[in-house]
Structure 1
């Protein structure tokens, strides 16, 4: 790729509260002054961490596009910013706008570099406990089993849905609003869908603790990669970086993850993953 061609790149789950992950972020550099960077959530646990990381990246890349993860939405006792739920999300959106970072609340930009044009759509959708193990027919039963077995997402304690009555209700509203917006796009443009959580359930089948999948997405998005003409889908959250294909659409899990996870791998985290132009000869399930 030539020096000035540019590429659409992606990364997620930077978790910069860890010093080793901060070092990874500090080392991130574009290969071209025209590179865009998609950041699919879980940048940090506090507003200050998010501001530091996205500010640094916005200074380096031609454009940074952010979709929130669950960690950014935590109201942690360690964070001086004690906003909850929608107010916290809106505060982060305002922060990103000050930094020049695009969010799910901004007009979707069009990537016109190599592999384009494509509409880049950062999404904020959450989850609704619909990805349940067999035999657990209700969200209440799935959550009770999670508590019984001790596999409970920290969101249950730190991610508040205010003013919604539940995170599932917040998810339903986000899904409906986002689907209407995507349906109104220019149908001639393929999309790159960027969401912290996977849009289809299949990637969660290899989780060590399958019951954790209830905090990983929603059945409501199972057909979005087909419905909205995705050229690629970018996600994180699972900390299982890999390339997979569903219905002929490339899904890229681009997370860095925690140091205790990536230190065990034969290849340590490097730069972001290239989304467009599409890599040649990408193995179906490897990164």
Structure 2
């Protein structure tokens, strides 16, 4: 029995949809889906109808694409938190665990905690203000589609929504008994150093919040799972393993490997390395 993870399936891409349909069965194992399944409710239904038949248990967290309100789609009337709750209910209809459900326990030792944490534009240089962050990114012709499609309703801003999610999540994590080891699961990386957007560095402001920089040591964490960056890596910090588990667009992965070639083993996972590079890159 193992726990695998993948993110950024991006099922709006036809080749990704076809590849997911060919995924083998892992009937004894669990799967973490760390966001960006697609842009519509139909994409989520398609993914879960396959994955819940392939795995013993599935856990889901939303990515920014999942939260988009795309004009002309069947669910285009849903924005912000209402859209998020709509997606949560779809997941629950398939028996999939979400950030709003009790955290699943694996082998009586690990608590798997699906999180929904946003970003607050704090992944930026010290001399750039929060108010000027988007304009700073635009200076290099970088602008995330979230600015048009990810609505924070009913919150006044994405930053305010992020703050509410942080408060909600911190409270829940603090209530977990200390006897358990945690696996934190979020779409966005929890540390700024892992926002490896080298080709578009100013995109970093849409990649997380510095308020989670110390969560891997503040809580009894063994593994942190994230996606979003489309740069697959394993990192070790302070004895904690950080896994970036994205599939991505067709240019980001090799079709001959199939989706199964990009499933990452989270538990039990590899032993903590003694003389291993702090970062491992995966292609």
Q: Deviations over 1:30-58 (max 9, x none)?
A: 44x22000000000111111111122101
Distance 1:139 1:266, change over 3 A: farther
Task: Measure, in 1, the Cα distance between the counterparts of 2:125 and 2:201.
Answer: 7
Q: Secondary structure at the match of 2:139?
A: helix
Task: Measure, in 2, the Cα distance between the counterparts of 1:193 and 1:267.
Answer: 27
Q: Which runs of 5+ in 2 are unaligned?
A: none
Task: Tell me the CA shift for residue 271 of structure 1.
Answer: 4.2
Counterpart check, 1:130 vs 2:125: no
The partner residue of 2:110 within 91, 103, 118 is: 118
Q: More displaced, 20-29 or 191-200? A: 20-29
Q: Where does residue 36 of structure 1 map in the other structure?
A: 30
Q: Secondary structure at the match of 1:62?
A: strand
Q: Where does residue 149 of structure 1 map in the other structure?
A: 140
**Contact residue 133 and residue 210 of structure 1 kept, 8 A:** no
The partner residue of 2:204 within 206, 213, 219 is: 213
Distance 1:7 1:30, change over 3 A: farther
Q: Where does residue 3 of structure 1 map in the other structure?
A: none
Counterpart check, 1:51 vs 2:45: yes
Task: Tell me the CA shift for residue 19 of structure 1.
Answer: 1.2
Q: Where does residue 225 of structure 2 map in the other structure?
A: 234
Q: Which runs of 5+ in 1 are unaligned?
A: 1-5
Task: Tell me the CA shift for residue 126 of structure 1.
Answer: 0.5
Task: Tell me the CA shift for residue 134 of structure 1.
Answer: 4.5
Task: Measure, in 1, the Cα distance between the counterparts of 2:247 and 2:66.
Answer: 16
Task: Measure, in 1, the Cα distance between the counterparts of 2:84 and 2:234.
Answer: 29
**Contact residue 119 and residue 207 of structure 2 kept, 8 A:** yes
CA RMSD in angstroms comes to 1.8
Task: Tell me the CA shift for residue 78 of structure 1.
Answer: 3.7
Q: Deviations over 1:240-267 (max 9, x none)?
A: 011111112100000000112325x997
1:263-274 equivalent positions in 2, closer than 5 A: 263=254, 270-274=261-265
Q: Deviations over 1:86-127 (max 9, x none)?
A: 100000011111111110000001011xxx620000000100
Q: More displaced, 103-112 or 272-281? A: 272-281
Q: Where does residue 190 of structure 1 map in the other structure?
A: 181
Task: Tell me the CA shift for residue 205 of structure 1.
Answer: 4.5
Task: Tell me the CA shift for residue 279 of structure 1.
Answer: 2.2
What's the TM-score, normalizing by structure 1? 0.91
Task: Measure, in 1, the Cα distance between the counterparts of 2:15 and 2:43.
Answer: 14
What's the TM-score, normalizing by structure 2? 0.93
Q: Secondary structure at the match of 1:41?
A: coil
Task: Measure, in 2, the Cα distance between the counterparts of 1:225 and 1:242.
Answer: 17
How many residues get paired? 276
